[in-house]
């Protein structure tokens, strides 16, 4: 009997990793379902995120394999793409203005939050700038290692910002009447098996192409593009089954909550005040620009709020899917912010961070 090739053995998940994922899946699903039954806004995402995050902080090793992460992002992108044909031209004339204000908001929140971290908590300039920068966490982590910054502290501030936004934003939008907590009527009909196969094939194909082009968030945006083209051209009518869409939303919540597995409770407590304080500064500065955009454009206030929220791109787009928010507007702005941050943060750290020789001492 021929032996299994070593590369196949290496690719298979270990028993420990499989059990960790199954535990994460069970806890995330229970949390999401509880929040959904309680009719809490954004219930599947928020419930899964908080349940998995709490388990992680209690010492359980929460994890989602990379391939399943990619699958979740593709499913989310397909669901978002099914909305695009209806909303493609909505507010598109306002995009240059609103994206311009978003750039100012991004740099304002970065400098404002970093100044707070330096003055109030005594952080070094490099760590403060990297912690204050919204989004692009993978690039920030690489820069933190390269520059010798305090990565655990940066991770606490970045993770708390995402957790607070993902949990609080749906409640704020619903309680203020800016949107509805009920499930949106998106893709009422379920695509046929052949159409579903075409959606998946097109989404994966586009994702692979733009991933090869080094496009940011390629699995999410590739699936959005593939799905939107098929829907916009009238080649596909309908979307994913509701249960599959729910799995994607729970998956996003699990991904966010599992970030707490990478930090110790003592690290979280040590930097908790810094994280909450810098978040408050960022929200205050963002609110100024949200107000300006709301006064100068005809874009819905709820759409602006989610588009300008300094949170994770996948989480904000998932919330757009569940809260009647325009996914095109939100996606365009969070992608723009990702590009701003990716291009600008190395230069900002070089100019305003601590000198390299200080790091090496």
Any domain includes 334: yes
**Residue 119 CA to chain centroid, in angstroms?**
29
Going by C-alpha positions, the residue among 160, 115, 170, 59 that lies closest to residue 281 is 115
In a domain, 32, yes or no: no
Give CA separation, 302 vs 176, 212, 249, 259, 284, in Å.
Answer: 10, 34, 20, 27, 17
What lies within 8 Å, CB to CB, of 355 at 6+ separation is none
Task: Flag whether 257 is in a domain.
Answer: no
Q: What is the DSSP string of 312-334?
A: -HHHHHHHHHHTT--HHHHHHHH
User: Does residue 39 form part of some domain?
Assistant: no
Length of the chain: 361
With respect to residue 21, please indicate whether it lies within any of the assigned structural domains.
no
The residues, ordered by sequence, that sit 6+ positions from 27 with a Cβ below 8 Å of its Cβ are: 51, 52, 55, 60, 62
Overall number of domains in the chain: 1
Q: Decide if 37 is inside a domain.
A: no
Chain centroid to Cα 266, Å, comes to 25
Question: Is 105 a domain residue?
Answer: yes
* Nearest-angstrom CA–CA distance, 263 and 150: 13
Range(s) of the domain holding residue 336: 65-239+262-360
**29 lies in a domain?**
no
Digitized pLDDT (tens) for each residue of the chain, 361 residues in all = 455 555 444 555 677 888 889 999 999 999 999 998 988 877 889 899 999 999 998 888 888 898 899 999 999 989 888 876 555 555 566 688 899 999 999 999 999 999 999 999 999 999 999 999 887 676 787 778 788 888 889 989 988 898 888 888 888 888 887 776 554 444 458 889 999 999 999 999 999 999 998 877 789 889 988 998 888 788 888 888 989 989 999 999 999 888 888 778 888 889 999 999 999 999 999 999 999 999 998 888 999 999 999 877 888 888 888 887 888 888 888 888 888 887 777 777 777 665 444 444 4
């Amino acid at each position: 009997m021929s032996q299994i090739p070593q590369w196949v053995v290496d690719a298979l998940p270990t028993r420990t990793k499989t059990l960790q994922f199954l535990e994460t899946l069970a806890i995330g699903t229970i949390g999401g379902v509880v929040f959904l039954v309680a009719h809490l806004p954004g219930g599947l995402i928020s419930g899964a995120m908080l349940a998995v995050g709490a388990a992680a902080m209690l010492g359980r090793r929460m994890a989602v394999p990379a391939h399943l992460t990619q699958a979740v992002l593709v499913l989310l992108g397909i669901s978002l793409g099914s909305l695009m044909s209806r909303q493609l031209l909505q507010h598109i004339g306002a995009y240059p203005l609103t994206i311009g204000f978003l750039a100012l908001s991004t740099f304002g929140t970065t400098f404002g939050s970093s100044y707070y971290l330096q003055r109030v908590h005594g952080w070094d300039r490099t760590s403060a700038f990297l912690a204050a920068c919204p989004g692009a966490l993978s690039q920030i982590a690489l820069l933190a290692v390269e520059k010798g910054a305090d990565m655990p502290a940066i991770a606490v501030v970045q993770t708390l910002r995402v957790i607070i936004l993902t949990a609080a934003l749906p409640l704020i939008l619903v309680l203020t009447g800016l949107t509805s907590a009920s499930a949106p009527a998106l893709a009422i009909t379920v695509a046929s098996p052949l159409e579903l196969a075409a959606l998946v094939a097109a989404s994966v194909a586009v994702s692979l192409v733009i991933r090869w082009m080094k496009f940011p968030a390629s699995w999410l945006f590739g699936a959005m593009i593939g799905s939107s083209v098929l829907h916009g051209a009238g080649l596909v009518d309908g979307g994913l089954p509701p249960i599959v869409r729910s799995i994607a939303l729970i998956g996003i919540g699990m991904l966010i909550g599992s970030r707490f597995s990478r930090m110790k409770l003592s690290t979280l407590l040590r930097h908790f005040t810094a994280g909450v304080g810098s978040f408050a500064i960022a929200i205050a500065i963002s609110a100024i620009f949200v107000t300006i955009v709301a006064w100068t454009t005809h874009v819905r206030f709820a759409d602006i709020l989610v588009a300008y929220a300094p949170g994770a791109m996948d989480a904000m787009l998932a919330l757009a899917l569940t809260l009647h928010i325009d996914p095109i507007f939100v996606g365009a702005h969070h992608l723009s912010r990702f590009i701003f941050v990716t291009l600008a943060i190395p230069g900002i750290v070089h100019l305003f961070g601590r000198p390299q020789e200080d790091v090496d001492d």
